Amino acid sequence: MLEELKSVFDWSQPLLPTTQQLSELKYLEMVIKEVLRLNPPVPVILRDITEDEKLPSTGHVMPNGTVMIISPWAAHRNPEVFPDPEKFDPERFSAGETARRHPYAFLPFSVGPRNCIGQRFAMLEKKSVLAKVIWNFEMFVEPGFTVRPGWKVIMKPANGVRIRLENRR
């Protein structure tokens, strides 16, 4: 990722990214999306069915008044859509791979008319913060540390994240 940053920014200058420059960080975006696939911020979404709805996959009718539970966490681990689903592989989000999948296969911010209106801003914010950290620091996970997922309203590590930063400059 540092090499991608160096290809977009001037290494001799402090990092002050523009929106255009952030949009050029394709690999960083692929890494962020793979992290969101494995750890969606909202692991379960509830939706009220407001009229009878026939599911095209099974023909089953979901009656009006039903509460549907959608789990991005489970959907992102479907091996038919994401082979070897527990493996961290940012290449899943290359342009070719993304084009092969159903547009609703990846839903860290929900999808359709009730999706998160701030998802583009969130991606720019994530890229900006990560670019700044990667630009200035090397990161190391504490040896022997394993993150345990924690489920509340949002998903976050139950035991925190232990990293060490070393100044890169």
Q: What is the CATH number of the domain that holds 155?
A: 1.10.630.10
**Percentage of residues in the chain having pLDDT higher than 90:** 65
What's residue 42's pLDDT? 86
DSSP secondary structure letter of residue 65: T
Cα separation, 65 vs 139, whole angstroms:
49
Prediction pTM value? 0.86
Cα dihedral 55/61/67/70 (nearest 10): -20
Which residue would you say has higher pLDDT here, 112 or 122?
A: 122
Residue 58 has pLDDT above 80, yes or no: yes
The pLDDT confidence band at residue 153, using thresholds 50, 70 and 90, is: confident
- What are the tens digits of pLDDT across the range 4-56? 999 999 988 889 999 999 999 999 999 999 999 999 988 888 888 999 999 88
Q: Which residues contact 128 (CB under 8 A, 6 or more apart)?
A: 17, 22
What's residue 147's pLDDT? 83
Cα separation, 29 vs 92, whole angstroms:
11
61 among the known binding-site residues? no
Average pLDDT over residues 55-67: 92
Residue 169 has pLDDT above 80, yes or no: no
Cα separation, 93 vs 28, whole angstroms:
11
- What are the tens digits of pLDDT across the range 125-147? 999 999 999 999 999 988 998 88
Domains of the chain: total: 1
Q: DSSP letters along 76-97, please?
A: TT-TTTSSSTTS--GGGGSHHH
Domain range for 58: 2-167
Per the prediction, the chain carries an average pLDDT of: 91
